[in-house]
Amino acid sequence: MNKPANQYSLVIDSPLGRLGILILNHQIHRIDYLAGSVRLRAASSAFERRVVQQLGNYFDHPGVNFTVPFELAGTPFQQRVWMALTKIPAGETLTYGELADKLGSGARAVGNACRHNPVSILVPCHRVVAASGIGGYSGSTSGPVLDRKRWLLEHESQSVPALKKPAMTPDSQLHRKNQRNIPA
């Protein structure tokens, strides 16, 4: 849920539109997509300038790693998923099922955790896709919200020859085989 525009520490323009960034105690707590009519709010501290600079670097060079600290407020399971997302390199993707296999969980649970990611872009939930296509983004499976995911994936693929999928592990191959054999 978006906070009122005046609740953000920063409101910046990006290639994806306006971003509202909530910073508390020198940690990013939220990044939200905002309407273009929301007023910009410039950086007023060295930390906020660092946040703006690192996001700008990412939009210029998608392989950049973020070093600004962020707070992930969520359930222990959500936090496990979100930390796993930070390990997927730019230009690579995993399916919800593949990530679920790595975490000993289910694909829907992983998707739900991705949906509630409070710091998208920094924690790259866009790098998780459906086995049959792009999947969803921020709880949407179509429209402008999904266009953001497409943009992020295409943007990151510029830093590598093509979006690469890691080789399937024997466990994920078995999981996929078992999923095909489940009666409808």
Catalytic residue IDs = 125
The closest of 5, 10, 39, 38 to 23, measured between CA atoms, is 10
Q: In this structure, is the dihedral angle defined by the CA atoms of residues 71, 116, 145 and 161, taken in order, positive or negative?
A: positive
Residue listed under structure tokens 């539109």? 17
- Which two structure tokens, joined as six digits, stand for 180? 């095909």
Kindly report the backbone phi and psi dihedral angles of residue 10, in degrees, each rounded to the nearest multiple of 5, phi listed first: -135, 145
The 3-state DSSP class for residue 64 equals coil
- Contact at 8 Å (CB) between 62 and 159? yes
